Amino acid sequence: MSQQDDQRAGDEPERQDAPFSFTDKRKVTSDGTSTAPQDGAAEAPTAQPDAADEQGAAGDGEVDDLSAEAGRLYESSVAEADQLRERVAELEEELKREQAEYVNSRRRIQQNAEVSKQNAVANVLNSVLGVMDDIELARQHGDLPEGTPFASIAAKLESALAQHGLQRFGKEGEEFDPQMHEALMHEDQEGAESTTLKVVMQPGYRMNERVLRPARVGTQG
């Protein structure tokens, strides 16, 4: 027997004395059957964070951001609206001033036009006062008897000029008015309470209320 055989023989008693044991890794199911464990079976998954919680947190953050942005937009809109209201008020004031200036300018233009018109009419009437004096003198001296052609022409002329406001004034006995009469002579009269026209040397003419020529008279009083 070799030395190796002696050594193996010496070791066998020691292996025989070691107790034998095993572990059954099979699983018993509800129907009484057993299943062998699969090699490399995956371990149970560890608990993961709740996805709904993460989405909720993200949603809350987005809502906060949207609320902040909405607040900024609202404040900006309010400020812009205030500026627009101020501008509208300024434009309304400017429009009122322009309208008032337009009305005033139009009134001035109309007044100036009316004054120019009246001055033009007055100039024309002044140019025929000498003719009117001749007609009045002819009538006083009997040179314009009723029914004659010249009397008819004179009457038509006086009527046409009267339509433009021409009026003759100045008669004996009227009260003296320095705005309408030019006194060339005066005679004192005892007990007189006012000054009146004693003689009319030349009648006066006016256009409506505008005196074109004062009457030349002699007064007493």
Domain boundary among 126, 143, 178: 126
Residue 48: predicted pLDDT: 53
- Separation CA 118–CA 207 (nearest Å): 9
Inside any domain, residue 138 = yes
Within-domain flag for 25: no
- Give the integer Cα–Cα distance in Å for 155 and 37: 148
The pTM of this model reads 0.56
Q: Which residues pair with 199 in a beta bridge?
A: 218
Paired residues of 202 in beta bridges: 216
Mean pLDDT along residues 68-91 = 88
pLDDT digits 0-9 by tens, 176-207: 999 999 999 999 988 888 999 999 999 999 99
Q: Which two tokens stand for residue 37?
A: 């464990």
DSSP state of 175: B
In a domain, 2, yes or no: no
Report yes or no on 35 lying in a domain: no
Residue 37 near residue 25 (C-beta atoms within 8 A): yes
Whether residues 133 and 152 fall in one domain: yes
DSSP E strands, 129-214: 166-169, 181-187, 196-202, 204-207, 210-213
In a domain, 42, yes or no: no
The pLDDT value recorded for residue 91 is 93
CA 16 – CA 154 distance, rounded (Å):
177
Say whether both 170 and 209 belong to one domain: yes
Q: Could you tell me the two tokens for 202?
A: 């030349």
In this prediction, residue 74 carries a pLDDT of 85
pLDDT surpassing 70 at residue 76: yes
Q: Are 219 and 176 in contact (CB under 8 A)?
A: yes
Statement to judge: residues 83 and 120 lie in one domain: yes
92 and 113 together in one domain: yes
Structure tokens at 160: 């046409």
Domain count, the chain: 3
Q: Are residues 142 and 170 in the same domain?
A: no
Give me the CATH number covering residue 220: 2.30.22.10
Distance CA 118, CA 41 (A): 123
Mean pLDDT for the stretch of residues 25-40: 54
Domain check: are 141 and 119 in the same one? no
Paired tokens of 179: 């705005």
Domain with 113 in it: 57-126
Residue 200 belongs to some domain of the structure: yes
Q: Is the pLDDT of residue 61 over 80?
A: no
Q: Where are the alpha helices (DSSP H) in the chain?
A: 3-17, 51-127, 129-140, 149-162
In a domain, 182, yes or no: yes
Residue 34 counted as domain residue: no
Domain check: are 77 and 121 in the same one? Answer: yes
